[in-house]
Amino acid sequence: MDMDALSALMGEDLAAASYADIWVSAPDPADLPLLGEARRLADSLGCYVHAVITDEAQADRAIALGADKVHVAGRPGEFLMTQHPEFCFFAVNKLHQAARAAQRHKAGLISDARNLRVDEVSRALLGSHPVYGGEYLLDFALTSPAKFATIDPRTLPEPYADPNRSGEVVPNNFVAPEPRVRDLGPVDYTPQAWRPLTKAKVIVSVGRGIRDAEGVALAKRLAERLGAEFGGDRSARDSGWVDEEHEIGLTGVEVAPKVYVAVGVRGDTVHNAAIARAQHIIAIYPNPEAPIFAVADQVVVGEPKEVLTKLLAMLG
């Protein structure tokens, strides 16, 4: 019975990928110090160091700093998704790439790793992650088949460069997949000139007591001065002054602004229930018996157009 048959009988997955060696993503010259850290760990484990670079001209430098094998790929993060590293290191500013590759391999990831070491028995990657501005360190142990870490090259000592080291540039036919996001250019879109009344902080609302289009225009001017949204009750919608999205009432929109200014709104039950969550209500209406006054925090008894004209003059 050969070893494969024995492994199958023991329930091992023979199709599972064999994770081996230490891989380093070093697309930028500033990332090359990571090779010194990888070399240190590889010497204690007896494994190879693979460097993934984007410029073949950096291959000799990568070998001198500790790489045994160099792979040239235009997008190292995507390339590493197709390989099977036991340990994989990225520069700390490549966290997004590291996280994607780690997720693809169902691997653990230590971000901004410090004090990296490997348990030679369990092959667990041990390291710390700084918290609270570096005041404390959280210790981690990764035991997944692949283990990933991001490292700040600035925290590492300058690696020793041995120009006599030998290594090889490994050819590959890797072609990066098409990006999942494509730039289709500017979109022909004009945003709506109003925000939903349900999200408005200030609302100026009108009702039939505003009387005519001239009064509505004054109310809209007030809304502009206050940086408010404009709405109205059911009578305003019936008069054609507001549309369905701007009708305030149980048959329209319920609102909860910080300030609600009701101008010419009589305030029937349907309307008043819809503004129950408003924090401060100001009502302007000519009839002192209007129901709106029962729920208002401040009231002005008077003709809405006259009050608005004076108010706008005061606002300048």
**How big is the chain by its Cα radius of gyration, in Å?**
35
Same domain, 99 and 224: no
Environment class of 160 (CB within 10 Å of its CB; exposed 0-12, middle 13-18, buried 19+): exposed
Q: Is the pLDDT of residue 273 over 70?
A: yes
Is residue 191 a part of any domain in this protein?
no
Q: Give the total number of structural domains in the chain.
A: 2
How far is C-alpha 86 from the chain's CA centre? 30
Same domain, 123 and 246: no
Is residue 9 a part of any domain in this protein?
no
Instruction: Please report, to the nearest 10 degrees, the dihedral formed by the alpha carbons of residues 138, 142, 143, 146 taken in order.
Output: 170
Q: Over the stretch 10-65, which tens digit does the pLDDT of each residue have?
A: 444 434 468 999 999 999 999 989 999 999 999 999 999 999 999 999 999 999 99
Query: Which amino acid is located at 255 in the chain?
Result: V
What's the pLDDT at 3? 42
- What whole-number percentage of the chain has pLDDT above 70? 93
Is residue 192 a part of any domain in this protein?
no
DSSP 8-class letter at 210? G
Reported pTM: 0.56
Same domain, 215 and 127: no
Q: Over the stretch 121-142, which tens digit does the pLDDT of each residue have?
A: 899 999 999 998 889 999 999 9
CATH number at residue 146: 3.40.50.620
How far is C-alpha 46 from the chain's CA centre? 41
Same domain, 98 and 236: no
Instruction: Name the domain boundary from 170, 189, 216.
Output: 170
Percentages (nearest 5) of helix, strand, coil residues in the chain: 35, 25, 45
Is residue 178 a part of any domain in this protein?
no
Query: Which residue range(s) make up the domain with 228?
Result: 197-315
Determine the average pLDDT of the residues in 283-301: 95
CATH number at residue 252: 3.40.50.1220
Is residue 2 a part of any domain in this protein?
no
Q: Over the stretch 156-203, which tens digit does the pLDDT of each residue have?
A: 988 889 999 999 999 988 887 777 788 888 888 776 666 789 989 999
What's the pLDDT at 194? 61
Is residue 161 a part of any domain in this protein?
yes
Q: Which residue has the tokens 């929109």?
A: 253
Q: How many CA within 13 A on the CB side of residue 124?
A: 10
| Residue pair 29/3 in contact by the 8 Å Cβ criterion | no
